Amino acid sequence: MTLTRRSFLSAVGISSVALSAAACSGPTAGSGPATVATGKLSGQVSLLTPIFEGAAGKALLEQKLIPAFQKTHPDVSFKVDYVNYSALNEKLTTGLAGGTVADVLMLGVGWIPPFAAKGVLAELPAEFADGQGFHPRVLDPSRHEGKLYALPAVLDTRFVAYRKDIFEEAGITAPPQNWEELRGIAKELTRSSGGRISRAGIDAFSIDLRQGWEYALFANGGKLFDETGRKVLFNQREGVEALEFLAGLIKDGSTAFDFRSEAGKPLQLQTGNAAMALVNNAHFMTIQQQSPELIKEGKIGTFLLKNTTEAMFQGGTLASVSARSKNPDAAQTFVRYLASPEVILHTCEYRGSVPAISALASSDYVKNNDFVRFAVDNLDKSVSEGGTPAWMEIRDTIKAAVEEALTGKATAQEALDRLADTANDAIGRLQ
């Protein structure tokens, strides 16, 4: 065939239309209730994971976990895409736009409803969650409209850790029972030098600001959204008080907006520069590695943040199957494997995370990790973020609203009302 100018332009035009159509086509929706894969599995499974980063994580996944899976499924091969949580969104966006989304997606708590509602995730058989020993609160973030779309791989909780030795020196014998007491203790334990805080009463901003405020909201009996995920509740009294509580700590001089533990350096709590701190359970490993004497001497205590309700913030990583997977049976089986007790235990040991399965509470790992044991003991008080299909749009805007209140650019009510407007817009765009 001779290439003429007209035929060339026609070909380009047709290709463009085809490309656009391919780009615009949505994912294939599930054709019915999910069934458990049976029969011999084969083919390649691609995995997008934010939790096996670094050489140690890669070694664990590729030299231990995947080979163990391949012992029973030797014809399944794997292609792993490692990413950290800060870039997970980008990776998903580009994967979805380019039609290269992985078969198995590991997502954060709160991410399931948005992606399930848009048909990105395949429904999992309900029996995957039954009889496995998952705590009911742990399974909540894996569901959307009553259907199961993911299984919890690991949990990452937030609570308060404190220095027992500093408390004892000040004659404080028990952790605070409400925010008024906490502010009083924080103020009492704060030390300043040359106009700067040398020891903060509480290091409240070293964990993610969004999660810090949400945790306070939950401890004040508040919710982000109603049960339908369509009504904003966070700008009601409970949320406003939660933000005012955090801002109040700055006003009291018990902490400062820039008083944080730096990445890669010992925590302010470890060095004694903070008497209390909002922490992640994984911080125990940091303390154990960098300041083992604090653990041996029993100087670190833990308590749940409480005003009207005793609450623990629950985050974590969930494993799900892409609705576009070309190898759904193998992907589904691998997801179930990732949420099996032995894999969860290995993953938790690597990350310092909390196992999602109650049976692992008696494991040596849990027994020997004070923060993880504390989290496991309090799973019935855990509350997760998210809860609306519009979460991915709202999630990112919360931090700026919290910062507005903490830096005095707006009152807590003003900042949360503006945030509510943004959230309502996002919810209004849901189809």
Partner 1 sequence: MTSVATASPDTAAQSVPPRKKVSSLLRSQRRAGVWMALPASLHAGIWIGLPMLASIVLSFTQYDVISAPRFIGLANFEDLFTDPVFMTSLRNTAVYAFFTVPVSMAIALVLAVMLNQGIRGQMLYRTAIFIPQVTATVAIALVWLWIYNPRGGLANQLLGFFGIGQVSWLTDTAWSLPSIIAVGVWQGIGLKMLIYLAALQGLPKDVFEAASIDGATAVQKFMQITVPMLKPATFFVLVTSIIGAFQAFDQVYILTQGGPANSTTLITYEIYKSAFQQFRMGLACAQSLVLFVFLIVLTLINRRLMGGSNDDS
**Interacting residue with partner 1 among 45, 104, 109, 120 (CB under 8 A):** 120
**Helix crossing, 391-406 with 209-219: angle to 10°?**
90
Of 140 and 403, CB closest to partner 1: 403
Q: Distance between alpha carbon 333 and the CA centroid of its chain, in Å?
A: 23
Of 1 and 21, CB closest to partner 1: 21
Q: Determine how many CB atoms are found less than 10 A away from the CB of residue 189.
A: 22
Sequential DSSP letters for 49-66: ESSS-HHHHHHIIIIIIH
Of 35 and 93, CB closest to partner 1: 93
Site for partner 1 contains 192 (CB under 8 A): no
Q: How many residues does the chain have?
A: 431
Stretch that binds partner 1, among 62-70, 116-124, 220-228, 231-239 (CB under 8 A): 116-124
Q: Least distance from C-beta 173 to partner 1, angstroms?
A: 31
Of 164 and 399, CB closest to partner 1: 399
Tell me which amino acid residue 49 is: T
Site for partner 1 contains 119 (CB under 8 A): yes
Distance CA 215, CA 386 (A): 12
Please list every residue from 2 through 31 that binds partner 1, using CB under 8 A.
16, 20, 24-27
Q: Least distance from C-beta 422 to partner 1, angstroms?
A: 8
Stretch that binds partner 1, among 37-45, 184-192, 241-249, 251-259 (CB under 8 A): 251-259
Of 56 and 87, CB closest to partner 1: 87
Q: Least distance from C-beta 409 to partner 1, angstroms?
A: 5
Please give the structure tokens belonging to residue 116: 């399930």
Site for partner 1 contains 221 (CB under 8 A): no
Element (H, E) at 136: helix 136-139
Distance CA 248, CA 199 (A): 17
Q: Least distance from C-beta 394 to partner 1, angstroms?
A: 9
Site for partner 1 contains 89 (CB under 8 A): yes
Of 61 and 247, CB closest to partner 1: 247
**Interacting residue with partner 1 among 310, 349, 403, 414 (CB under 8 A):** 403
Nearest CA to 372 among 157, 161, 138, 214? 157
Site for partner 1 contains 392 (CB under 8 A): yes
Site for partner 1 contains 385 (CB under 8 A): no
Nearest CA to 354 among 326, 373, 368? 373
Nearest CA to 292 among 352, 361, 369, 219? 369
Count of residues of this chain found to bind partner 1 when the rule CB under 8 A is applied: 41
Residues 6+ apart with CB under 8 A from 345: 355, 360, 363, 365
Site for partner 1 contains 93 (CB under 8 A): yes
Nearest CA to 219 among 268, 181, 163? 181
Q: Least distance from C-beta 408 to partner 1, angstroms?
A: 8
Residues 6+ apart with CB under 8 A from 12: none
Of 89 and 236, CB closest to partner 1: 89
**Interacting residue with partner 1 among 6, 31, 262, 380 (CB under 8 A):** 262
Please answer whether residues 101 and 302 qualify as being in contact, where contact means their C-beta atoms are separated by less than 8 angstroms. Answer: no
Site for partner 1 contains 361 (CB under 8 A): no
**Interacting residue with partner 1 among 242, 404, 412, 423 (CB under 8 A):** 404
Site for partner 1 contains 424 (CB under 8 A): no
Q: Least distance from C-beta 167 to partner 1, angstroms?
A: 24
Site for partner 1 contains 277 (CB under 8 A): no
Q: What is the DSSP letter of 354?
A: B
The neighbouring-strand residues paired with 314 are 157, 384
Stretch that binds partner 1, among 51-59, 155-163, 355-363, 392-400 (CB under 8 A): 392-400
Sequential DSSP letters for 215-282: HHHHHTT--SB-TTS-SB-TTSHHHHHHHHHHHHHHHTTSS-TT--PPTTS--HHHHTSEEEEEEETT
Q: Least distance from C-beta 56 to partner 1, angstroms?
A: 22
Site for partner 1 contains 266 (CB under 8 A): no
Tell me which amino acid residue 418 is: R
Most distant pair of Cα atoms in the chain: their distance:
93
Please answer whether residues 322 and 121 qualify as being in contact, where contact means their C-beta atoms are separated by less than 8 angstroms. Answer: yes
Binding site for partner 1 (CB under 8 A): 16, 20, 24-27, 89-90, 93-94, 96-97, 114-115, 118-120, 195-196, 256-258, 262, 392-393, 395-397, 399-400, 403-404, 406-407, 409-410, 418, 425-426, 429, 431
